[in-house]
Structure 1
Amino acid sequence: MKLANLDGRAILVTADGIVDIHDGSDGRLPADPDQAVEQLADIDRWYRQECPDLDPVHTAVSLAADPALLGPPVVRPSQIFAIGLNYAAHAAETNRRLPATPLVFTKFASALAGPGETIALPTQTCDWEVELVVVVGRAGRDIPLGNALEHVAGYCVGQDISERGAQMAGERPQFAMAKSHRGFAPIGPWLTTLDELADPTDLVVEASIDDQNVQTGRTSDMIFDVSTLVSYLSQTCELRVGDLIFTGTPPGVGQSRTPPRFLAPGDLLCSQIEGLGGLRNRFVDGMPS
């Protein structure tokens, strides 16, 4: 299934049309996108058994072409985890050693944005990082590695936008604040359940700016895979339904280029992952005059 947020309402997206989950189920299932994640198994059962009528006004193709119609598929996560240096080539481009255990930081929920939202740049040193985002579908602590994927509702595409000036200022990096400006966590275009993917462990990850490719990688290149990350995080934190895990970025970020390249007003950043769709985020000047 593809679970999306259209005008604040939970919908299912197909190639032939969409269905409003609440209206299509005669009110038995939720309209709220976050509640829909909690009841994903019930929604799946209802959709397969009752085959509700589809509204052809929007389809997966039309919404992919204009993702600004959609909001983030998860609106109010209680926790957003992010993983640093989870691709060896990205660690190499930043001249850092490979981590022995996952490097975890946070992004704050107020940074969430939709897949086609326009984002204001607060400084001239904002960078891009396309990432596979895991949506937690079942709560738990101390989750065994072998059961980790049972706690995953699905995947979506994300961008970990980063204000590098603040991130690298001072004696120690300041990740959370520098990565949590308004709009700095666009996700979408929808939550895709793993059964829709031919091989959910090996997906192409790409980003481009104004049609120029800037990042390419594969999720199979991650140092710590999704199961490892879910299990590892749960050893310390209780994972809750709707929590998000940004799983790290492949090489090609702007800060590591010679000379460094940063996002500029007018740039269109397109982020896509095989089988999951893509984001199209335009940037505007949000710097103090």
Structure 2
Amino acid sequence: MNLTLNNGVEMPALGFGVFQTPPDETRAAVTAALEAGYRHIDTAAAYGNERQVGEAVANSGINGIFLETKIWISDYGYEQTLHGFDKSARKLGVDRIDLLILHQALPSEFDKTLAAYRALEKLYADGKVRAIGVSNFMVEHLTALLDAATVVPAVNQIEVHPYFQQREVQAFGAEHGILTQAWAPIGGITFYRDSGHRSTLQDPVIGEIATAHGKSPAQVMLRWHLQQGRSAIPKSVRPQRIAENLDVFDFELTGDQLAAIDALDTGKRGGPEPADITLANFGMPIPEN
């Protein structure tokens, strides 16, 4: 299943994510994902595993894999972001990146964010990337960006799952042709486990729907994203779970089931607050190789 971005580029709706996947495990995880049928891989400069993603893709011999990566805040600024592209492309082993996005809004130094986005626009104009976008941008950040941008972001990758749905951000994106892409699409399990929050995987409402369809709770949540028009980026290092997360195209949730999942929203974010992202707290050098 593909989604068409606002510039006409087609992107597989489900991508395979490698956030928090150690570099030495990334190659095998991406290989398993490609063997399972994924054709969209999502990584980031800040993950430290772009090179292993690129190696797995190259070794697969599969053509047409959609590669998505992100520029980290330490490389914001016009020239710095152009160089950030060079670093990512070199590690991924490609001349052109399918989707390049800014990883955070960096609200405390938004001028650097705007300069970084201008660099993405330049890369897009030069054909070095097929589409550009952002990640973790809230409505105020998107508004300020759109006031200055010449290219509307194709994607805003944000935390979305049944317990945290960010409907205002999603609605703003939809109004402006920006596709919402969900990270932590099955519940931000790491964040919630660390904070003592119950897991979406054990949620009784989701469990009942899963039983009705003979599917897992994770599959139900991914289907919920797809039916509501979102892209989703599940992650795992276990081949069985990797394949399971892609097996979501042979059933359909009812309107009542979608509404029941919608009703689980707690409004509580699992990841860091976008307003708290600063170079002082989150800056780190991105290696050349």
For the aligned pair, the TM-score class normalised by the smaller chain equals: under 0.3
More strand by share: 1
Q: TM-score, normalised by structure 1?
A: 0.25
Q: TM-score, normalised by structure 2?
A: 0.25
